[in-house]
Amino acid sequence: MTRKPFIAGNWKMYKNGQQAQDFIRQFIPLVNSWEAHQVGLAVSATVLKEAVSTVATVGSFPLIIGAQNMHWEIEGAFTGEISGSMIKGTGATMVILGHSERRQLFGETDEWVARKLAAALDYGLTPIVCVGETLQDRESGRTFNVLANQLTGCLAGVSDHSLGSIVLAYEPVWAIGTGVTATVEQAQEAHAFIRGRLSRQFSPQAAEAVRILYGGSVKPDNAKSLLDQSDIDGALIGGASLDPVSLAKIVNLA
């Protein structure tokens, strides 16, 4: 089974419209090949449309633009939220769901992620569903329990068929933005666990086909060894995705 590597940047609450434009114009020519892997950028909601049109202005490059969160309802009295249909309306085609910052700082639960996931699939957005344990979970030997519960909760209601449209990201919370990366052994072990778990929750074929990205302090100098692992199919990159040169380096390694 060959799974096409997927490298996605997560800009978090960084970059306004002009900065997004400048980044995209610089970044696209630095990528050696657009066939070997998929590349995405999750930008802030206010620059989605601008990012999409900048990509189109540069040329016909399949750089995927996405959001970092969404609400499951199509519209309503939900101050500050955006819906899948609004994201779709900007021309963006991807959305990150259940990022640990959403979970830890904004109280997002697995049940919410499951609802958002169903809505994202309805709109034809490619969801990147994040799971991962905290340092406390890991130190108390609960990593696999936590991952199993997150997978059960977030993917409740997902069919074998729709699993194929979902990308997962394993992001140990203790490795996000800390400069501490999981060792390749820790990362591969968690990815293999996730795939094994999916093969029981879904069919072995569907589990084999799903891409599982690693996230947490991925940088140009540690990306290769992580991406070489058999169950690591790409990366979700925060800090290093803010610089076009460093993101392109990682893409070109994948």
Binding site for ligand PGA (CB under 6 A): 10, 171, 176-177, 215-218, 236-240
Residue closer to ligand PGA by CB (options 158, 235) is 235
Task: Identify the burial level of 33 via C-beta atoms within 10 angstroms of its C-beta, where 0-12 means exposed, 13-18 middle and 19 or more buried.
Answer: exposed
Residue nearest to ligand PGA (CB): 238
DSSP 3-state percent helix, strand, coil across the chain (nearest 5): 50, 15, 35
Residues 209, 3 contacting (CB under 8 angstroms):
yes
- Could you give the angle at the alpha carbon of 7 between the alpha carbons of 55 and 91, nearest 5°? 35
Q: Indicate which residue of 50, 101, 133, 171 is catalytic.
A: 171
Catalytic pick among 37, 50, 71, 99: 99
- Long-range CB contacts (within 8 A, 24+) of 221-229: 222/181, 223/249, 223/250, 223/253, 223/254, 224/253, 225/184, 226/181, 226/184, 226/187, 227/5, 227/253, 227/254, 228/184, 229/184, 229/187, 229/188, 229/191
By CB neighbour count within 10 A (0-12 exposed, 13-18 middle, 19+ buried), where does 124 fall? exposed
Q: Which is nearer to ligand PGA, 97 or 206 (CB)?
A: 97
**φ, ψ for residue 36 (rounded to 5)?**
-70, -25
Whether 99 is catalytic is yes
Specify the residue, 138 or 206, whose C-beta has the smaller distance to ligand PGA: 138
- Least separation in angstroms between CB 188 and ligand PGA: 18
Shortest separation between residue 159's beta carbon and ligand PGA, angstroms: 27
Distance in Å, CB of 238 to ligand PGA, minimum: 2
User: At closest approach, how far in Å is the CB of 250 from ligand PGA?
Assistant: 10
- To ligand PGA, the closest distance from the beta carbon of 73 in angstroms equals 25
Would residue 133 show up in a list of annotated catalytic residues for this protein? no
Cβ closer to ligand PGA: 47 or 236?
236
Nearer to ligand PGA, 11 or 202 (CB): 11
- Which residue number, 155 or 235, has a Cβ lying nearer to ligand PGA? 235
State in angstroms the smallest separation of the CB of 236 from ligand PGA.
Answer: 4
Rg over CA atoms, the chain: 17
Nearest 10 degrees: Cα torsion 236, 205, 64, 104: -40
Active-site residue set: 99, 171
